[in-house]
Chain A
Amino acid sequence: EDQVTQSPEALRLQEGESSSLNCSYTVSGLRGLFWYRQDPGKGPEFLFTLYSAGEEKEKERLKATLTKKESFLHITAPKPEDSATYLCAVDGYSTLTFGKGTMLLVSP
């Protein structure tokens, strides 16, 4: 059974204070790892797809990396508008399995 664990559960940062979110996964075969951002009361918004270890993708202040056991979402110089829950999901050639997310709060 595919498993995804995200840490920390919640993270509070000051504006400009960089940090990383972790996504550890166990899957028999990885077709892809996905990062989503979810604002309260809304559906998840797609951020990145990573397919193989060593791959990196960037978008504005966010950078996602992938190893064989985990993925990191690095947030550089965050702004208050980056506050959201960040979800990680793995596609193990069947269905998407999601972690429970990291709730990020960035204070001005």
Chain B
Amino acid sequence: KAGVTQTPRYLIKTRGQQVTLSCSPISGHRSVSWYQQTPGQGLQFLFEYFSETQRNKGNFPGRFSGRQFSNSRSEMNVSTLELGDSALYLCASDLGPEGDTQYFGPGTRLTVL
């Protein structure tokens, strides 16, 4: 079974631009979560989607948004990029909201110049 895929793998943007990252979950998984990972803060939860609905949201500014499509694929968007947004963005999928193991994709490395 194919794992979680994320595109693109690497991105370089400049301050003020916006970016969209994509995540395709494992087949049959309906829940997708997004995380930001930085050396100083570790893995921080951004948001979780299930059945096209946002179920939980972490403590991030409104510049960070996401959505999920009917095929469970998800996208996250960051608008008005700041230098501090440089990070590894990870997507994870699981079967659903009843508590299950999350499986991670390889991540998208975003660099903001």
Contacts and interface: CB of A to CB of B under 8 A. Distances in A.
A46 B88 CA distance: 18
Interface in A56-108: 87, 89, 91, 93-101
Interface string B34-50: 01000000111100100
A87 B105 contact: no
Contacts of A95: 33, 45, 48, 56, 58
Interface in B91-113: 92, 99, 101-107, 109
Contact of A43 (B4, B48, B56): B4
Interface in B1-40: 4, 33, 35
Size category of the A interface is 20 to 34
A94 B107 contact: no
Interface in A25-66: 31-32, 34, 36, 41-46, 49
A48 to B, nearest CB: 9
B107 A98 contact: no
Contacts of B101: 32, 34, 46, 49
B81 interface: no
A45 B56 contact: no
A94 B4 CA distance: 22
Size category of the B interface is 20 to 34
Contacts of A43: 4, 90, 92, 104-107
Contacts of A97: 45
Given A31-B99, A95-B33, A96-B33, A45 B104 contact: yes
Contacts of A101: 42
Contacts of B35: 98
A42 B56 contact: no
B43 A32 contact: no
B56 A94 contact: yes
Closest 4 CB pairs of A and B: A43-B104, A100-B42, A98-B43, A31-B99
Interface of A: 31-32, 34, 36, 41-46, 49, 87, 89, 91, 93-101
20 contacts: A32-B99, A34-B102, A36-B104, A41-B107, A43-B4, A43-B104, A43-B105, A43-B106, A44-B104, A45-B104, A46-B101, A46-B102, A93-B99, A94-B56, A95-B48, A95-B58, A97-B45, A98-B35, A98-B43, A100-B42
